[in-house]
Amino acid sequence: MNIQKRKAVELEIIDLAFGGKGLAKPDGYPVFVDRTLPGDKVLVKITKKKKSFAEGKLISFIEPSPLRQETPCRYAAYCGGCRWQALPYETQLEYKTRHVQDSLEHIGLLKGVTVHPVIPSQKTFGFRNKMEFSCSDSRWLLPEELSNPDIKKDFGLGLHVPGTFDRVIDLDQCLIQPDIGNGILNEVRNYIKESGVPAYGLRSHEGFWRFLMLRSSTAFNTWMVNIVTKEANDDLLIPLAEHLQKTFPEIVSVVNNVTAKKAGIATGDYEKLLAGERYLKERLGRFTFEISANSFFQTNTTGAEQLYTLVSQYAGLTGNETVVDLYSGTGTIPIWLSGSAKRVVGIEIVESAVKDAKRNAALNGIDNCDFFVGDIKDVLPKIDAACDVMIIDPPRAGMHKDVVEQVIALAPKKIVYVSCNPATLARDLGMLNGSYKALEVQPVDMFPHTFHIESVALLEAR
């Protein structure tokens, strides 16, 4: 078949690639097409052509896949969030297990590692305890909105459209968060519109309103609202905070993160408390955690409990071990393991998360956990701890290669590696392979309707 850049071509999608895109293979040549599913017959415009692969943009469906189902969310075909929502959940899980297996084999060059079938998420909607909605001065219009002259394009509060960095869909609901979140989202939108104060533009770098971050506690049904703005403005924000708390008694914390940085990141240079508490309380198992706005916390609470139960099984602690937990966030894993270890050391780069971790340990009456703040590659060599078991739970980018060497030098007998990215999991297990044998991997689905997958791997010193 003749594949040419900027030309339209008819393709049949035969697979889902890692990263979530549909894959066609005309004459064996891979073409990746976003928003397509296996079985779709589609008309595609080729946007990139390389020697070994091409990428295309979906123009239209010639014949939709028999696998396709109605999406409960009306934004699903456009929003960057749930790109697999049209795929039955069981089929999503099959692809996720396979993507973990394929990554280990093809990226990590690891053969014979047992990959168990993925553990499903208990809920497939309303499961996400944290959402970050963007404010934009450039609203992306849905097809049915295009011909409506009453819709203004200079404001949107919602989620990004893939392929655009500055344009957002003005969402009135997102089904993966608990429903109260949709009420809060719409109340904040009304307030912003009535304020007459402009949204921040990622091109102009002018305007005030930047992000709305909502975090909820599954155990207590309470909410934190974090309003991210370019400047502080108590006169505008305190009445909003009071109005929100009056309208939604579930809101226990309203904070304002202030940042004039140009990057589109919802972390403030500083934080102001507008109403209620500075923290949101959550329970995992028998432990209580106080989480501040900028600290990492697993976004699927019941999934997190399953994940940590697995970490604990794989760690197989007897009570005599010293455990080092790299990338420890708010201290959830050290606290979870504290009862079955002699000592647990956590290392984490975000200062507020380490403060949360120390407070959380005290809150739960735990005195055998120590937390250190800093970049792992700088802090780990200075830690004075003989490490029996190491837990590693890095961000999507995986481990820095210096850290891989430091881990090998510390020589723990066992490593439990928790990963939210099968590609970097496979790369890192590949780098550790000379010293550590990967025995088994258990994927856990924390992110239904996306290609993302969490995994826990057990490694043993050779």
Active-site annotation, residues: 420
The residue count for binding ligand SAM (CB under 6 A) is: 19
Using an 8 Å Cβ cutoff, are 444 and 307 in contact?
A: yes
Using an 8 Å Cβ cutoff, are 186 and 163 in contact?
A: no
**DSSP characters over 242-289:** HHHHHH-TTEEEEEEEE---SS-----SEEEEEEE-SEEEEEETTEEE
393 forms part of the interface with ligand SAM (CB under 6 A): yes
* Sole residue written with tokens 């971790």: 357
Using an 8 Å Cβ cutoff, are 394 and 419 in contact?
A: yes
Nearest distance, CB of residue 433 and ligand SAM, angstroms: 22
Nearest distance, CB of residue 359 and ligand SAM, angstroms: 15
Closest listed residue to residue 227, CA positions, set 245, 210, 244: 210
Q: Return the number of the residue (44 or 337) whose C-beta is nearest ligand SAM.
A: 337
CB atoms within 10 A of CB 196: 6
290 forms part of the interface with ligand SAM (CB under 6 A): no
Burial group, residue 393, by CB count within 10 angstroms (0-12, 13-18, 19+) = buried
What value, to the nearest 5°, has the Cα angle with vertex 295 and ends 290 and 301? Answer: 65
Q: Return the number of the residue (178 or 329) whose C-beta is nearest ligand SAM.
A: 329
Using an 8 Å Cβ cutoff, are 244 and 224 in contact?
A: no
17 forms part of the interface with ligand SAM (CB under 6 A): no
Single residue of 298, 301, 424, 442 touching ligand SAM by CB under 6 A: 298
Rg of the chain (C-alpha set): 23
Q: Return the number of the residue (157 or 407) whose C-beta is nearest ligand SAM.
A: 407
Instruction: Compose the 399-438 pattern: x for residues touching ligand SAM by CB under 6 A, - for all others.
Output: ---------------------x------------------
Do you know the residue count of the chain?
A: 462
328 forms part of the interface with ligand SAM (CB under 6 A): yes
Write the secondary structure of 402-425 as one string of H (helix), E (strand) and C (coil). Answer: HHHHHHHHHCCCEEEEEECCHHHH
Using an 8 Å Cβ cutoff, are 363 and 405 in contact?
A: no
375 forms part of the interface with ligand SAM (CB under 6 A): yes
Closest listed residue to residue 314, CA positions, set 460, 437, 102: 460
Nearest distance, CB of residue 10 and ligand SAM, angstroms: 41
Nearest distance, CB of residue 183 and ligand SAM, angstroms: 27
Nearest distance, CB of residue 349 and ligand SAM, angstroms: 3
Nearest distance, CB of residue 307 and ligand SAM, angstroms: 7
Among 174-182, 217-225, 262-270, 326-334, the segment contacting ligand SAM (CB under 6 A): 326-334
Single residue of 329, 412, 422, 448 touching ligand SAM by CB under 6 A: 329
327 forms part of the interface with ligand SAM (CB under 6 A): yes
332 forms part of the interface with ligand SAM (CB under 6 A): yes
Tokens of 24: 């066609």
Tokens of 40: 């779709």
Closest residue to ligand SAM using C-beta atoms: 329
Among 35-43, 68-76, 189-197, 322-330, the segment contacting ligand SAM (CB under 6 A): 322-330
Fill in the DSSP letter of residue 20.
S
Single residue of 141, 395, 402, 408 touching ligand SAM by CB under 6 A: 395
Pairing of strands 389-392, 414-419: parallel
Using an 8 Å Cβ cutoff, are 433 and 108 in contact?
A: yes
Among 108-116, 208-216, 348-356, 360-368, the segment contacting ligand SAM (CB under 6 A): 348-356
Among 17-25, 31-39, 168-176, 392-400, the segment contacting ligand SAM (CB under 6 A): 392-400
Using an 8 Å Cβ cutoff, are 132 and 80 in contact?
A: no
Among 81-89, 97-105, 234-242, 329-337, the segment contacting ligand SAM (CB under 6 A): 329-337
Nearest distance, CB of residue 286 and ligand SAM, angstroms: 17
Among 54-62, 135-143, 271-279, 345-353, the segment contacting ligand SAM (CB under 6 A): 345-353
Q: Return the number of the residue (127 or 296) whose C-beta is nearest ligand SAM.
A: 296
Nearest distance, CB of residue 141 and ligand SAM, angstroms: 35
Angle between helices 234-247 and 180-195 (to 10 degrees): 150
Q: Return the number of the residue (253 or 406) whose C-beta is nearest ligand SAM.
A: 406
For 186, 212, 213, 229, the CA distances from 225, given in Å and listed in that order, are 13, 7, 6, 13
Report, in this order, helix, strand and coil percent for the chain, each rounded to 5: 25, 30, 45
Nearest distance, CB of residue 55 and ligand SAM, angstroms: 29
Q: Return the number of the residue (393 or 445) whose C-beta is nearest ligand SAM.
A: 393
Residues that bind ligand SAM (CB under 6 A): 296-298, 327-329, 332-333, 347-350, 353, 375-376, 393-395, 420
